[in-house]
Amino acid sequence: MSEEPQPTTGREAPRAAAGFFRGLSGKLLLLTIVFVMLAEVLIFVPSVANMRIRWLQDRLNTVAAAAVVVDGLQNVELPRNVQDDTLMATGTKAIVIRRKDASRMIAAADMPSEIDGEYDTANFTAFAAIHDAFDTLLFGGNRVVRVYGPLGESDAVIELVMADASLHKAMLVYSRNVFFLSIIISLITATLIFLAINRMLIVPIRRMTASMQEFSDDPSNPARVLVPPEGRDELAVAGQHLASMQRELQKTLKQQKSLAELGLAVSKINHDMRNILSSAQLISDRLADVDDPVVKRFAPTLLRAIDRAVGYTREVLSYGRTTEAEPHRRFVALKPLVSDVAELLSIDPQSGIEFQIQVQDDLEVDADSEQLFRVVHNICRNAVQALTNHEADDGRPRVISVSAMRMGSVVTISVDDTGPGMPPKARENLFAAFRGSARSGGTGLGLAIARELVLAHGGTIALVEKPTPGTLFRIELPDRPVPLDAFRSKARH
């Protein structure tokens, strides 16, 4: 029986935590041990060379003590058994004292036919000492060497011939002791460094990693947001930025969820709303046939209002799905369009709000008439709501003014009001859906949609600072470039 494939979620599952030595802690511990051992090796190289020189100097000093006594007995040769005892006690094969005018053999026995190496304990370089030390350590033990150095403070030189077996053994013991001591030092140092860095770095990093994993499992849960550590070091700052990013992401997800729910709600009512408005359109068409001057005067306005209402039912849904249609541009008389906006706003005469239109009769704008209507209507509607909700106590007039002017190929439209102005929060999130509303309970979609439509025309919209109270929006719409062939054809006709 074959197993059914498991459904995928579209997101790669987080990997399980690595083992100790594959994790950051284990790597840190191993690297510390390696680096400490490397430092010990670098220390061992000169120290073993120094140990060899000291060992040879000690041997020369021991032999010199016996040789001085014998040298004080002039013209007296030591008996054979005394020489053998002396050589055996000092571990040498021959002892010689050399002076400028003469040399004296203190003791000698079984002299080898050749010497494998000669070493001067008084004159040597650091490189030569290191080379000779490793040469003895690696290849010594069965060689005969000649060693010489100054005899105390005199000008005499003590010289001896010896086998290097004792020196080789002493150097091996020294190397072994240094190796085990280095291991102990490395472990202690690595442990202390590990504990310190683990507390300062690894634990906070693991905490942030766990927070990110928990947050990714349920990003909408406020309890999953990291509680940032206090402090001003790099990890504390990183934790504070991570917590801030998680909070901002939660706000964004909440807004996206609201947008999706709003789009779903509009899509549900859109079908029924269009049916209702279609019935209203049929009734309005019949009203146009009624032979009544009042009905004939208001019927066209009613028809346009119903048509625009049908479009407004799609406004929020279109914004959420980013399916705003491309503008169908043509030159539109601006003043009648603003007059339609004023009629649709239906400002209550009792409110004391005055709507002023300061637009020349012959001013035309190269734009999509319906989209430009929505832009101006959204801004003016916000102004009406601001003035309605605000009761001025200084006696200044409550005015909404729409003015426009053309400069070359650009038309500038200004919508000004004498209301309370934009609050700071609305300024910070200007043109941002669900965040840029100036009133409680607003969605901020009006300005967001207005900006989207203006940008689709290649224009700009901005909030302009002014010295008097109120809000001033300025819209700039450029004309479309005219193809040269079309211009020449128009000029010929």
DSSP β-bridge partners for residue 51: none
Element (H, E) at 367: strand 364-367
Question: If you average pLDDT over residues 383-392, what whole number do you get?
Answer: 80
* pLDDT (tens digit per residue) in 400-420: 999 999 999 999 999 999 888
**CB 216 within 8 Å of CB 43:** no
Q: 167 by DSSP, 3-state: which?
A: helix
3-state helix, strand, coil in the chain (%, to 5): 55, 15, 30
**CB 156 within 8 Å of CB 99:** yes
- Give the residue with greater pLDDT, 36 vs 18: 36
pLDDT reported for residue 283: 65
Q: Which runs of consecutive H residues, i.e. helices, occur in 289-333?
A: 293-313, 315-321
Q: Are strands 117-120 and 144-150 parallel, antiparallel or unpaired?
A: parallel
Per the listing, tokens 């009648």 go with 336
Confidence of residue 1 (pLDDT cuts 50, 70, 90): very low
pLDDT reported for residue 32: 79
Cα–Cα dist 120/483, whole Å: 100
pLDDT reported for residue 414: 95
* pLDDT (tens digit per residue) in 122-151: 888 889 899 988 998 888 888 888 888 888
Q: Is the pLDDT of residue 337 over 60?
A: yes
Taking phi over 0 as left and psi of -120 to 50 as alpha, with beta for the rest, 246 belongs to alpha
**CB 176 within 8 Å of CB 106:** no
pTM of the predicted model as reported, rounded to 2 decimal places: 0.44
Q: Is the pLDDT of residue 490 over 60?
A: no
Enter the tokens of residue 445: 């979609």
Taking phi over 0 as left and psi of -120 to 50 as alpha, with beta for the rest, 259 belongs to alpha
Helix axis angle for 293-313 and 334-345, nearest 10°, is: 90
List, as one string, the DSSP characters of 233-275: SHHHHHHHHHHHHHHHHHHHHHHHHHHHHHHHHHHHHHHHHHH
Cα–Cα dist 167/137, whole Å: 9
pLDDT reported for residue 250: 82
Q: What single-letter DSSP state applies at residue 362?
A: T
* pLDDT (tens digit per residue) in 344-387: 887 878 888 899 999 999 999 999 999 999 899 989 988 888 88
Q: 194: Cβ–Cβ under 8 A, 6 or more apart, which residues?
A: 25, 28, 29, 32
Cα–Cα dist 359/406, whole Å: 10
Q: How far is CA 197 from the centre of its chain?
A: 22
CA angle, corner 109, sides to 105 and 110, nearest 5?
A: 135
- Give the residue with greater pLDDT, 247 vs 302: 247
- Give the residue with greater pLDDT, 247 vs 3: 247
Closest among 220, 252, 433, 413 to 334, alpha carbons compared: 413
List, as one string, the DSSP characters of 420-484: S---HHHHHTTT-TTT--SSTT---HHHHHHHHHHHHTT-EEEEE--SSSSEEEEEEEEPPPPPH
**CB 249 within 8 Å of CB 275:** no
Question: If you average pLDDT over residues 70-81, what whole number do you get?
Answer: 64
Element (H, E) at 332: strand 330-333
Q: Is the pLDDT of residue 474 over 90?
A: yes
Average pLDDT of every residue of the chain: 78
* pLDDT (tens digit per residue) in 5-32: 444 444 454 454 455 556 667 777 788 7
Confidence of residue 441 (pLDDT cuts 50, 70, 90): very low
Q: 440: Cβ–Cβ under 8 A, 6 or more apart, which residues?
A: none
* pLDDT (tens digit per residue) in 214-265: 888 888 777 778 877 777 777 778 788 888 888 888 888 877 777 777 666 6
What count of other Cβ atoms lies within 10 Å of the Cβ of residue 225?
19
Cα–Cα dist 370/108, whole Å: 122
Enter the tokens of residue 271: 């079908």
